[in-house]
Structure 1
């Protein structure tokens, strides 16, 4: 099983149209606004001597931060263009990067066999996945954790769609970075709020902690405020 060609081509097209400059993607915020506060939620539950796998790593900004806090960091992404950008950006070779389709159960199982049990960082992947792919993504998280790993999963809530709609409909139209997301057919904030914890539990995961936060974007409202998307987060382990 694999993602559709439409979905794969959408991401290849997006990353192909995105520069190597950090922050050029709307979600590519500095780790001080993203992975660092997320790690504070995960750290009390995680064994940092295990690897961490950043699922949907994009250009690797958060992966490089996580590499400084775990024994080994691996960033994986569906898009080959994203993985190539991540490798170019990581001039100190802090982490490893590879292309991976999370819906491909055999490929995910092979990664787990190579790495052993690991921690997982999953930021805003389920919400924009096609409906039929969301359960396999949750299953991939469970597979990579094994019995010892812990996952941090953060996803925009449905309220985020209201925020994005407001930004897109503001005078002057969508800001350039959001316009690029929409132009490539990517569809943010589609998963229902209840769907994410249900998917995690259905994959055999136990939710150890949860809460609400905002996902900082690299675009701003017309009044200068940084755009933040309402989100929910979960720390999970195999039940």
Structure 2
């Protein structure tokens, strides 16, 4: 089963209308404040030689960074407009990009059939997906990791919700980069702190590490400091008895 038609329409519209260039959208933080900070959290879990798939790659900012650290990096996104942006921003072809719906388990199994077991980077995807799609996305990722791959996931924590609500309801209106997200019907949702690991366990994966850290955005506070939202992260994968012992 794929994501809803409304979700697909919202994301295509958002990326078709979004300004060009890195940092132009709300979550497109520079890699130094995103993937580079996350790398030490998953580096010891990802297996050298496996392809790495950036699920929900958007315009590919983090994908291109990861391609400088891993071989065989692929960015996939639900939106064809996002994938086109990612390709255009990577003329050297450091990574591969394609449209794919992570909630479509059959599509993820086909991708696994082409690439083999993969490590997966998942940044801020689940909390922006409708609740019924979240288990399907995680099951699709579980299919992509196979027996050897691992997934690093980072999502907004419960504590981020009141911050976002406050921004959306400001008297002067939402911040300039948050407004297009809301007007396209992409409402940053809530994945409870307890639900995040549960989604992965219910997909048959074992949580191997977890923690919390701020998730940087491209907006700034009144004092000039960068707006960062509370987030939770985890590393998960299929673990056999042999791997445990």
Q: Into which bin does the TM-score normalised by the smaller protein fall?
A: over 0.9
- How far apart, in 2, do the equivalents of 1:191 and 1:31 lie? 24
- How far apart, in 1, do the equivalents of 2:23 and 2:120 lie? 23
Which 4+ stretches in 1 moved above 4 angstroms? none
TM-score of the aligned structures, taking structure 2 as reference length: 0.95
**TM superposition shift of 1:223:** 2.1
- How far apart, in 1, do the equivalents of 2:166 and 2:112 lie? 41
Q: Which residue of the partner structure matches residue 63 of structure 2?
A: 63
**TM superposition shift of 1:171:** 4.2
Determine helix, strand or coil for the equivalent of 2:159: helix
* Structure 2, unaligned runs of 5 or more: 240-245
Q: Which residue of the partner structure matches residue 104 of structure 2?
A: 104
**TM superposition shift of 1:101:** 0.8
- How far apart, in 2, do the equivalents of 1:158 and 1:11 lie? 23
Root-mean-square deviation over aligned CA pairs: 1.0
Q: Which residue of the partner structure matches residue 203 of structure 1?
A: 203
TM-score of the aligned structures, taking structure 1 as reference length: 0.97
Determine helix, strand or coil for the equivalent of 1:219: strand
Q: Is the 8 A contact 1:75 1:97 kept in 2?
A: yes
- How far apart, in 2, do the equivalents of 1:147 and 1:79 lie? 28
Q: Which residue of the partner structure matches residue 22 of structure 2?
A: 22
After superposition, the C-alpha distances for 1:9-37 in whole angstroms (9 at most, x for unaligned) are: 00001101112211111100100000011
- How far apart, in 2, do the equivalents of 1:205 and 1:19 lie? 37
Aligned residues: 239
Q: Is the 8 A contact 1:167 1:221 kept in 2?
A: no
Q: Which residue of the partner structure matches residue 95 of structure 1?
A: 95
Q: Is the 8 A contact 1:128 1:191 kept in 2?
A: no
